[in-house]
Structure 1
Amino acid sequence: MSEEKRTEKVYSRREVLKTAGKAAVGVAAVTVLPSFLTSCGEKTPEIPSKEVLSYEYLSASEDAPKYPYPYQKLDVGTTMERAYASFFNKGGCCRAVIDGIIGQLGDQAGYPWNQIPVDAFANGAGGYGAASLCGSLAGAATCIGLAVPPEDASKMTAELFSWYTSTELPTYQPEVKNKTVSSASVNCKDSVGEFMEVSGYAMADPERKARCAGVAADCAGKTVELINKYYNL
């Protein structure tokens, strides 16, 4: 920025302070500036320092993993068992599926799968807190998107969603034997709501939690089944 433009900014600011009717600029700054800083959420224009004006960004790192991420065959049963346990150990259906697949790949295959933090998907629980898309499906779709090229990932995700709404779940029930239901949609509200209506259990009941843990396991297992098949593994 030129010296001329800098001078204009300083002058403009002082003029505003003068028109505020204050005897001294120092007094005006104390009483007028807060309104500028908060008005409509805008910040008072400041003169950039020489350091800012001369700042140059470093070159962006090109050390990025090849996409799609290199996938290796996972055992369906092991994946389901891990996802089920992760529902309770990690918390929530979305993290359960992510840990069952991505967490397992991180442990077995390493980079780049081990660079994805499982806890970043905590917000997927309960249909993202709004009873919208089932967190298990959201986690599964994320795994598919990372392991499969875009065009085929879309088809695979559609197949997974179709399976979800046409299959009575959960099939994986290692502890509590719950009634199974097929959901009218891919939304948490319908999936969990229909189960609670049929079973009579409430949201906080351990049986409901075991049910959603089982659904997470089913979704993780189905996803691995589809990806394994895609890569002929």
Structure 2
Amino acid sequence: MTQHLLMIEDDTRLAQMVSEYLAQSGFVVGHAGDGQTGLTDLQSDPPDLVILDLMLPDMDGLEVCRRIRSLPGALAQIPVLMLTAKGDPMDRIIGLEIGADDYLPKPFEPRELLARIRAVLRRHVEGAHPVQTQLRFGTLEIDRDARSVSVAGQLCDLTSYQFDLLVALAERAGRVLTRDQIMEAVRGRELDAFDRSIDVHMGRIRAAIELDAKDPKRILTVRGVGYVFARQQD
């Protein structure tokens, strides 16, 4: 699903550059050149996240953030990522204290902005929908807190990274994921699309959790795409 961002920034050139870059990753970015316009746009078409500059022509970003957090209902919960050219750490502290979810100083690398946006959105979703501590699929049990996996009561020998990969698949059961999507879910950043190390790890996970690794029933390969964790199991 396409996610909608609102950038409140008086530097039109920067806003255009950021919008074009984020569009390549599937985001739709709206732009407001001042705080009041941004607040109006936010209420008329609520975004999934606000990218908020600290220095604006009509009011500073701290005041805009305060007003967002005082809005009614779900509007007050919209994630805010603040941008600033200032080096004073007090600005960061105040911004976070009044409700900003993250803070990125200018100048910044577009890839870092993208990574921070994804991280904030991920935390926001997890906060709205508490993570299940245990996942069960037939005789397969995954315990997040203990970081353990068992099949029919027998513990499976997985590395920490393999455990995270299995959880990433299991919590998206029934959804076909590319190798990139799986590794991004684990590491929180994009990796080389041609990195095949994921296949080696999947083979080892299958050896640990499948009754027959050569005829898997839990982790299925979708040729030319990636993997899918089966919803219906033993």
Q: TM-score range by the shorter chain?
A: under 0.3
Between the two structures, name the one with larger relative contact order (CA 8 Å, sep ≥ 6).
Answer: 1
Higher-helix-fraction structure: 1
Q: Which has the larger radius of gyration?
A: 1
The two structures have a TM-score, normalised by structure 2, of 0.23
